[in-house]
Amino acid sequence: MVVVGIGADGMAGLSPASTAELRRATVVFGSGRQLDMLDSSIGAQRRQWPSPLLDALPTMFDGLGIVHVIASGDPMLHGIGATLIRVFGTDAVRVLPHVSSVTLACARLGWPAHETEVISLVTADPVTAVRRGGQAVVLSRDAGTPAALARLLTESGRGDSEFTVLENLGGADERITRSTAGTFCTRVGDLNVIAVRYLPDVRRAHALPDESFAHDGQITKQSIRAVTLATLGPRPGELLWDVGSGSGSVAVEWCRSSPGCRAVSFERDADRRNRIAMNARAFGVRIDVRSAAPEPFGDVAPPAAVFVGGGVTQPGLIEACVDRLPRQGRLVVNAVTVESEAALAQWYAQKGGELRRFQHYQGGPVGGFTAWRPALPVTQWAWVKP
């Protein structure tokens, strides 16, 4: 199988090797727009991708011999090339890339590519392109994506972000529209990417201050959140269950920690569920907000890790978390009451793991002097399922 990248300039922009491949093809797969770019020198049978595509892929090419695929730009950058290799293997797929829309956008704007994040909204929710600083090239799903992203940035206090929409990059009808997110109101075509410099730039690494989150006081405090995340140990692409989520601060930090991390928050209080969703939108992270655990556990994908920040003494809750964890899954439970500490002591005696207690103090004025004021001590049980 040979995958050939093509730009908005069509066959005129192809390398000799890519042109030769297409001219010897017997069947070419691609989208309707990409297939229409092929001129009369390409005698191959042209077939559009079916929808849905992924389910059909494993047997789609049976009996066809050498198959050619036409794809936009660099097929390995959020493109069909990576999907085909994942399904058929590296040895079965050869890729001839074109210049990507990301490279062209960086060239037009003078942005160093290695300093620019790439975000795809082709299948993702636009909220996942919200950031608190830096710059990114955002791959659009369609003509409505720029307006949707501009609205989200404005609603999250980032209306001053530099917002550039680049249409038909590399084509004869290329167009670049510059504005801010708050003033963007231009009609654009389906073939576009968005370059955003997020302002104000208030990026900060872990752990975030408590005031960064909308909350009602039910929040894992900054210092405890830091040690909790260290114990949870997020890895790229993993799913967290945040049980008794409160403000969702641990879920947000988990999702920010590594590429592809996502979370499911379980919270019984409706107002808190709304705050969790608000915090997820503010940080552009993927959090699925559910009602109280453990009832919704049955229809949620198994987690790599579970954090329990509330409801420790609820009958059956810890048991349900333990049951749903896969092998080598991590469970971290925090407790502040005598009753919940007693429950953790029982689980530690039964399962092992690690039992810790954290106590921290904050300096504050007492008359003309300074004294230490203690926060509630937090007991933590951490366990890995064998």
- The closest of 206, 205, 290, 286 to 245, measured between CA atoms, is 290
- pLDDT tens digits in sequence order for the chain, 386 residues long: 999 999 999 999 999 999 999 999 999 999 999 999 999 999 999 999 998 899 999 999 999 999 999 999 999 999 999 999 999 999 999 999 999 999 999 999 999 999 999 999 999 999 999 999 999 999 999 999 999 999 999 999 999 999 999 999 999 999 999 999 999 999 999 999 999 999 999 988 878 999 999 999 889 999 999 999 999 999 999 999 999 999 999 999 999 999 899 999 999 999 999 999 999 999 999 999 999 888 888 889 999 999 999 889 999 999 999 999 999 999 999 999 999 999 999 999 999 999 999 999 999 999 999 999 998 999 999 999 99
All domains in the chain, ordered by first residue: 2-99 (3.40.1010.10), 102-197 (3.30.950.10), 210-385 (3.40.50.150)
Percent of the chain at pLDDT exceeding 90: 92
Spatial separation of the C-alpha atoms in residues 50 and 44, rounded to whole Å: 18
pLDDT at 75: 96
The DSSP bridge pattern shows strands 117-120 and 45-48 to be: unpaired
Q: Are 28 and 69 in contact (CB under 8 A)?
A: yes
- The closest of 80, 108, 82, 286 to 192, measured between CA atoms, is 108
**Chain centre distance of CA 41:** 42
Peptide bond preceding 282 in cis form (omega within 30 of 0): no
Residue ranges of E strands in 152-231: 162-167, 175-180, 192-197
Q: Are 223 and 360 in contact (CB under 8 A)?
A: yes
Spatial separation of the C-alpha atoms in residues 348 and 359, rounded to whole Å: 20
The DSSP bridge pattern shows strands 162-167 and 192-197 to be: antiparallel
CA-based angle 266:271:275, to the nearest 5? 75
Q: At what angle do helices 249-257 and 270-283 cross, to 10 degrees?
A: 30
Q: Are 265 and 296 in contact (CB under 8 A)?
A: no
Q: At what angle do helices 222-232 and 249-257 cross, to 10 degrees?
A: 50
Peptide bond preceding 234 in cis form (omega within 30 of 0): no
Q: Are 218 and 248 in contact (CB under 8 A)?
A: no
Q: Are 169 and 104 in contact (CB under 8 A)?
A: yes
Amino acid letter, 199? L
